[in-house]
Structure 1
Amino acid sequence: LLVKFDKSFGATGRSYGDVSGNRTREDIERRRRDRWNFLFIAGMWFQDLFNYDFRRTERCIIPYATQEGEISFCAYNTGIGWRKIVEKMHMTATLSKWYEQHGRHEIFAGGKSVPLSSTAHSLLVREELVTQDVQHDLERLGIPKNAREEKLWRRRLSKAENEQMARLYRQLVLNEPVEPLVQLKGLRNKTPNVGVGVGD
């Protein structure tokens, strides 16, 4: 048992076989002869709301340190999510708020400190405009606002481009005839109604 603790903490300085990338064949053989050498595998059950099991969460043996104390890993990272609750409770400040309270860090360029006369900016953000409604000007211009919208926008563009290339391929390479445009004519009657008037 003392040997086992010595391997963990290296109290005596005795070599039990190197396990790093510099190990030799002798290190490998020494580790293989060790009666106490074992591999520990612990399974984790990552649960979602559809298969959440409270009994399994109670049996979790992995302690997790949070700002609220020790919580089991399974309870912290699964289900409804203690993680969200704890992180919201102890949310850190925004970057601008941090700069306001603690000042900015030094800025370096070319290995030299760049002194700033002032860290204040002239940008005026009116809170009532920022928080009153969702931004619609980008939608009107057709500009994506986030990565998902940009991905969908690029997919639509590539789909239209692929359809155009396929049409050109059929026309120029396969020599398929181009479908003629269908002319839609007015639905007006060719012969005017004569003699029909108001009061007749």
Structure 2
Amino acid sequence: MAIHFHEEDLPADVRFADGPIAVDTEAMGLMAGRDRLCVVQLSDGQGDEHLVRFRQGSDYAAPNLKALLSDGARLKLYHFARFDVGIMHAYLGIIAAPLYCTRTASRLVRTYTDRHGLKDLVRELLNIEVSKQQQTSDWGADELSEAQREYAASDVRYLHALKAKLDERLAREGRVELAQACFAFLPARALLDIAGWADTDIFAHDG
């Protein structure tokens, strides 16, 4: 098990196992039009994590990373896909789908709580404690600390195991099809955010 750090793109010789790939991002903030994309994290669930860092002034060319993320035959696993898909579209110019969002799945089946953060899910479903201390650190720094790299890696480390647990609950509660419909809509929801409808429900009846 290791954390692999790359600058500007995945090396051409990096290979991932078949099946879903876990994806996360780190940025300077939570507004894709204002805050730049700094890191993309990846894991195939086999024990290693890959971090691709983009420096200030990057052209975000990253052909190997884009090819992987835009592969329509590979499921991408996220926690809060709405943000990650949006900011990668804004900077990489791709829609990283089809997708599965553990936060969305949690909201559909863990209706007994309002705690749907990754830390809460990993604690309850996997009995593992993860630290979120580096969440609000400076991801645009010239050098990323070992603590930042570990934090970034941990954001994709458990998504395959969480999907398995959440799939069991979605099936138990009869909400598999509803979840799939939500996942299919999430890229459009991310594009609405970028286009200016982040805080507006366009389906609402306002009078």
Q: State the TM-score, normalizing by the size of structure 1.
A: 0.19
Larger C-alpha radius of gyration, 1 or 2? 1
More strand by share: 2
Of structures 1 and 2, the one with the larger relative CO (CA 8 A, separation 6+) is 2
State the TM-score, normalizing by the size of structure 2. Answer: 0.18
